[in-house]
Amino acid sequence: MTDPMVQKPEEPLVDPIAEHPGYDSTETLVGIWGHPFHAMSVAFPVALTFCAFGADMLYWLSGELFWARAGVWAAGTAFLFGLTAGVTGTAELLLVPGIRIRAPAWTHFVLAVLLLSLLGANWGYRLQGYESAVLPYGLLLSAFNVLIVMITGWHGGKLVFDYRLGTSKGKL
């Protein structure tokens, strides 16, 4: 009697994800002329997260109020631009079948939601008193946010450059 658990050699292994009809539909649906809004909007929260950390470091080194104020603005705008990037990314994730079905896209979503919570916390914490908030917890939060934004951004890059998500297939 043949063992039902043993696969016959003539039966190829099937990846149910790759077999999905929408697997190859990965072109952006949330963009302009094939350019995804998400890729255009992520530069702002990434840069502002670094700015918040830079301002906190300069406040720590100089003690100047200006840098504490720059820190609260950078933290706030990092959060608000991060939300914009989150909206465009989530729309892409939900609307494009080939993005929705890939697990790495959801991993990026989880990382991004963690990042947005931390960016919001960094801003909200400073609204109680932006100068007293910097040392030590504002600075520590900014430093941690830099780490998480680098991981999230690197992972987003993997989606584009390794999986070609959101990219054009080249037809004009």
Residues of this chain that interact with ligand HEM (CB under 6 A) are: 28, 36, 38-39, 42, 45-46, 82, 85-86, 89-90, 92-93, 99, 105, 108-109, 112-113, 115-116, 149, 152-153, 156-157, 159-160, 165-166
CB of 169 to ligand HEM, least distance (A): 13
CB of 30 to ligand HEM, least distance (A): 7
CA distances from 136 to 140, 151, 153, 162 (A): 6, 23, 26, 39
d(CA 80, CA 72): 12
Nearer to ligand HEM, 62 or 107 (CB): 107
Q: Which amino acid is at 130?
A: Y
Region class of 80: left (phi > 0), else alpha (psi between -120 and 50), else beta: alpha
At its nearest, how many Å lie between ligand HEM and the CB of residue 127?
A: 21
